[in-house]
Structure 1
Amino acid sequence: MSNKMLGVLISLAIALIVASNTLFIIKETERGVLLKFGQVVDADLKPGLHIKAPLMHEVRKFDGRVLTLDAAPARFLTLEKKGVIVDSFAKWRIVDTSTFYTATNGEELTARNALEKRINEGLLNEFARRSLQEVVSGERDQLMNSLTDELNEVVQKSYGVELIDIRVKRIDLPEQVSDSVFNRMTTEREREAREHRSKGKEQAEVIRADADRQRTILEAEAYRDSELLRGEGDAEAAAIYANAYSKDPEFYRFVRSLNAYKETFKGKDDLLVVDPDSDFFRYLNDTKGGSSR
Structure 2
Amino acid sequence: MNGKSMLALAVAALTLLVVSNSVYVVKETERAVLLEFGKMVQADLKPGLHFKWPMINEVRKFDGRVLTLDTAPQNFMTVEKKGMIVDYFAKWKIQDVDKFYTATGGDEMTADRLMAQRINEGLRNQFARRSLLDVVSGERDELMEKLTQNLDDFSRSSLGIQLIDVRVKQIELPPEVSGSVYSRMTSEREREAREHRSKGKEQAEFISADADRQKVVVEAEAYRDAERIRGEGDAIAAATYAAAYNKDPEFYTFVRSLNAYKKAFQNKDDIMLVDPDSEFFRYLKDAQGKK
Settle same-fold status: TM greater than 0.5. Answer: yes
Name the SS of the counterpart of 2:90 in structure 1.
Answer: strand
Residues 1:225 and 2:229 are matched in the alignment:
yes
Name the SS of the counterpart of 1:207 in structure 2.
Answer: helix
Deviation of 1:221 after TM superposition, in Å, equals 2.3
Residue 9 (structure 1) aligns with: 9
Residue 85 (structure 1) aligns with: 86
Q: Which amino acid aligns with 1:42?
A: V
CA contact (8 A) 1:127 1:135 kept: no
CA contact (8 A) 1:71 1:87 kept: yes
Instruction: Note closer, same or farther for the CA distance 1:115–1:220 as it changes in structure 2 (3 Å cut).
Output: same
Residue 202 (structure 1) aligns with: 206
Q: Which amino acid aligns with 1:59?
A: E
Q: TM-score when scaled to structure 2?
A: 0.72
Q: Which runs of 5+ in 2 are unaligned?
A: none
Name the SS of the counterpart of 2:43 in structure 1.
Answer: coil
The separation in 1 between residues aligned to 2:275 and 2:147, in whole angstroms, is 126
- Which structure 2 residues correspond to residues 1-293 of structure 1 after superposition, within 5 A? 1-20=1-20, 23-28=22-27, 29-36=30-37, 38=38, 40-44=39-43, 46-47=45-46, 48-52=49-53, 54=55, 57=56, 59-63=58-62, 65-72=64-71, 73-81=73-81, 83=84, 85-93=86-94, 95-97=96-98, 99-130=99-130, 132-133=133-134, 136-137=137-138, 140-141=141-142, 143-159=143-159, 161-170=160-169, 172-174=171-173, 176=178, 177=181, 181=185, 184-185=188-189, 188-189=192-193, 191-193=195-197, 195-196=199-200, 198-242=202-246, 244-245=248-249, 264-271=264-271
Name the SS of the counterpart of 1:165 in structure 2.
Answer: strand
Instruction: Note closer, same or farther for the CA distance 1:256–1:69 as it changes in structure 2 (3 Å cut).
Output: closer
Deviation of 1:210 after TM superposition, in Å, equals 0.6
Deviation of 1:168 after TM superposition, in Å, equals 1.3
Q: Which runs of 5+ in 1 are unaligned?
A: none
Q: TM-score when scaled to structure 1?
A: 0.72
Question: C-alpha offsets along residues 64-119 of structure 1, whole Å, 9 cap, x if unaligned?
Answer: 5133133234343444555463523121215143x544443332211111111112
The separation in 2 between residues aligned to 1:258 and 1:94, in whole angstroms, is 117
Question: C-alpha offsets along residues 108-160 of structure 1, whole Å, 9 cap, x if unaligned?
Answer: 2111111111122122223333454477437735x44543443344334543x
Percent of aligned pairs sharing the same letter: 29
The separation in 2 between residues aligned to 1:71 and 1:265, in whole angstroms, is 110
CA contact (8 A) 1:26 1:46 kept: no
Instruction: Note closer, same or farther for the CA distance 1:134–1:111 as it changes in structure 2 (3 Å cut).
Output: closer
CA contact (8 A) 2:151 2:163 kept: no
How many pairs does the alignment contain? 279
Name the SS of the counterpart of 2:248 in structure 1.
Answer: helix
Q: Which amino acid aligns with 1:89?
A: A
